[in-house]
Amino acid sequence: MDKLVEREPAVRPLATAPAIAVQFFLIPLLVVGATVLVYVGFRSLLNDDRSAQEYLTDIRSGGTNRRWPAAYELSRLMSDPEFVKKEEATLAPELTKAFAASSDDDPQVRQYLALALGRLTPPIPADARRLLIDALNDKESQTRISAIWALGSTGDVTAVPDIERMYTSGDAGVRKMTVYALGSIPGDVGGDTLVKALDDTEADVQWNAAIALARHGRHEGSAVLRRMLDREYVQRNVTRQQRAAEEIDPVGEVMISGLRAIAALKEAALLDPVKALSESDTNLKVRQAALETLRSLG
């Protein structure tokens, strides 16, 4: 059978290699998880129909309990490309000023403003780029992580040396975001750092490094990608545990990310483990992703 039938919605077909980049990256949970938790817990503090300028007003002069939720909401709005296209001309300088003024503010304000700056249309303003590079030295690790993500999302090749130096951090979250950001930047950049990260002490840093190398069409991470197909190995190393009420299988998500990277690379040497997953993995989404990968491998 070429298609698995399941009660869950069918997984989307794999895209071509350039379009697949966002899909097969393991988004670092330190940023995404914190964002989701904050959103769920405090969404009711703000109204749905407020404008970007109102959020900026709260960021500048609101109370402690309004500034960081406003910064979060603004960064969320800017995840919509159409909104950015319409509002960017006035928002970009205001965001840059707000971020510059946040150096001694609530760290969460800085984190979300950094994410918002990273969602501006590249190339971002020179002042914003300079502020994000300065934020790589911030005392708060979450702010450093947000700044790394923002610089990577701009695709600015000139920021690569600044991003690469962050791999020396003792914080695994910073290292994970570093390799993720290097993989986000077009072209074969940061290769030495990414290859070094294949031997990182943290498994998920290794996984992100292998996927980043695959994004750049490099095969050095093939051994790590093979390990990502081993459910028992991944289960031992995934730090986020599945909850009874959740449909997402964290182990399966890692395996699917590995499969998509293998498909993008057309790594025929991994045909056998991919075929085995397509026939016997316990997660139907993993099996479907494996079938798609087999088609990509021919």
Task: Match 């980043």 to its residue by tokens.
Answer: 212
Higher pLDDT, 235 or 1: 235
The per-residue pLDDT for range 130-171, each reduced to its tens digit, is 999 999 999 999 999 999 999 999 999 999 999 999 999 999
- The span from the first CA to the last CA of the chain, in angstroms, equals 16
| C-alpha to C-alpha distances, 178 to 29, 77, 147, 183, 193, nearest whole angstrom | 13, 25, 10, 9, 9
Q: Answer whether residue 238 shows pLDDT above 50.
A: yes
Q: What is the pLDDT of residue 248?
A: 76
Q: What is the pLDDT of residue 200?
A: 98
Query: Mean pLDDT, to the nearest integer, of 209-223?
Result: 97
Query: Mean pLDDT, to the nearest integer, of 32-44?
Result: 50
Q: What's at 39, amino acid-wise?
A: Y
The first and second tokens of residue 60, run together, are 């500048």
Higher pLDDT, 247 or 126: 126
Query: Mean pLDDT, to the nearest integer, of 17-34?
Result: 47
Q: Answer whether residue 233 shows pLDDT above 50.
A: yes
CA–CA separation, 137 vs 14, rounded Å?
A: 38
Q: What is the pLDDT of residue 286?
A: 97
Q: What is the pLDDT of residue 121?
A: 93
Q: Answer whether residue 222 shows pLDDT above 80.
A: yes
Q: What is the pLDDT of residue 4?
A: 40
Query: Mean pLDDT, to the nearest integer, of 42-56?
Result: 69
The per-residue pLDDT for range 242-277, each reduced to its tens digit, is 554 456 789 999 999 999 999 999 999 999 999 999
Percentage of the chain beyond pLDDT 90 is: 76
Q: What is the pLDDT of residue 28?
A: 56
Q: Answer whether residue 16 shows pLDDT above 50.
A: no
Q: Answer whether residue 72 shows pLDDT above 80.
A: yes
CA–CA separation, 203 vs 29, rounded Å?
A: 14
Return all residues near 260 (Cβ < 8 A) that are at least 6 apart.
Answer: 14, 20, 23, 24, 289, 293
Q: What's at 16, amino acid-wise?
A: T
Query: Mean pLDDT, to the nearest integer, of 110-117?
Result: 96
The first and second tokens of residue 44, run together, are 């009711």
Q: Which has the closest alpha carbon to 189: 148, 159, 169? A: 159
pTM of the complete model: 0.82
User: How far is residue 107 CA from its own chain's centroid?
Assistant: 20
